[in-house]
Amino acid sequence: MLKAKYYPKHNVMEAKLGSNASFLWRSFIWGKELLEKGVRWRVGDGRSIKVFGDPWVPGLENFKLSSRNGVDSDMFVANLMVERGVWNLSLLEQIFSEQEREAILKIPLIRTGRPDACIWNYCKNGRYEVKSGYWLAREEVREASLNHVFAPLHYWKHLWKLKVPPKMLHFLWRCSMGFIPCMEALQWKRITQTAQCFRCQQENESPVHATWSCAACVAVFERATFFSSLSSGQYPSFISFFDHAMKTVADEELQLLVILLWMNWHDRNKAYHQESTETSDRIFDNGVRLLAEWNNANIRNGTANRDSGATFTGDVES
């Protein structure tokens, strides 16, 4: 766990950028700044949320309670409950003002004791709304843009078994780890000022945006049979996208998906270097052709072992 490794004592929202920040670390801090702008806790069992200083009470400024004399400043929200899912009313009365108490009592508790989770507040018409619940959860693997370093073991097991050219497996690994030089990575490295996608100019260019969700990529995938089963999802990271794909799409179709992801990235690089790019139809057709060549090469060699496809060049030629 990132926190356990880097933060034996402090919570992640208290982190500051040190002078020898590694790339991973810098990316992590970058995400932290992003998260701090809109993140708050959703109360579960209350064991991860500090009563004072953590954002957890809707209706209060910044969702926070300020500390007060005579009360343990390291107290956790769980300490405000008499049992799981039940507020300790007399304790609330002792510590908090009426307004604070009212705000706290509006927070729904559940007795089943799910862990606390960080959620993202989305400001619309001056009101905060819970837009999505996938953000940072303390002590847990993160599902946000920066968690790409961490994936469940089954993810890697499935990925390494895919029957695609080794260079494409390596590409998938790089996407998963956030090691492709998309605009987000370039901004982290301070090579560019912005992380915005230069093709659609709609969103930041993350690995999943650069290969899948950019409008330029969607145009390529629209003809694929697997498109409809993946297109409705919102994917905060490449891992969340590809994990879903591996669970949803049959292995034979996954081959084409991987090839098209790889080709989209190459086309994106051509656009980045202001070279002429392919039409989406052409990319799709090339992908289908490459897949057929790859499969034929493996059949000829009498095996489906991906390492046997020595005749496959993987070049994107017409």
Residues of this chain that interact with Zn ion (CB under 5 A) are 197, 199-200, 214
Shortest approach of Zn ion to residue 209 CB, angstroms?
6
Q: Whose Cβ is closer to Zn ion: residue 268's or residue 306's?
A: 268
Q: Whose Cβ is closer to Zn ion: residue 12's or residue 195's?
A: 195
Determine the 3-state secondary structure of 184 from DSSP. helix
What distance lies between CA 197 and its chain's CA centroid? 17
Shortest approach of Zn ion to residue 201 CB, angstroms?
7
Shortest approach of Zn ion to residue 217 CB, angstroms?
8
Shortest approach of Zn ion to residue 124 CB, angstroms?
23
Query: What is the arrangement of strands in the sheet containing 117-124, beginning at the earlier edge strand?
Result: 39-42, 117-124, 127-132
What are the CA-CA distances from residue 107 to residues 14, 40, 58, 246 (Å)?
A: 25, 13, 8, 37
Q: Whose Cβ is closer to Zn ion: residue 121's or residue 213's?
A: 213
Determine the 3-state secondary structure of 247 from DSSP. helix
The two three-digit tokens of residue 138, written as one number: 């303390």
Report helix angle 251-272 to 238-248, nearest 10: 150
Shortest approach of Zn ion to residue 181 CB, angstroms?
15
- Residue ranges of E strands in the chain: 39-42, 81-83, 86-87, 117-124, 127-132
What distance lies between CA 148 and its chain's CA centroid? 6
Q: Whose Cβ is closer to Zn ion: residue 75's or residue 218's?
A: 218
What distance lies between CA 23 and its chain's CA centroid? 17
Q: Whose Cβ is closer to Zn ion: residue 12's or residue 216's?
A: 216
Integer Cα distance of 113 and 307 in angstroms: 48
Shortest approach of Zn ion to residue 196 CB, angstroms?
8
Q: Whose Cβ is closer to Zn ion: residue 212's or residue 262's?
A: 212
Beta bridge partners of 103: none
Shortest approach of Zn ion to residue 137 CB, angstroms?
28
Q: Whose Cβ is closer to Zn ion: residue 199's or residue 306's?
A: 199
Integer Cα distance of 177 and 82 in angstroms: 43
135-174 exposure pattern, b = at least 16 Cβ within 10 A, e = fewer: bbbbebebbbbbbbbbbeeebeebbeebbbbeebbebbee
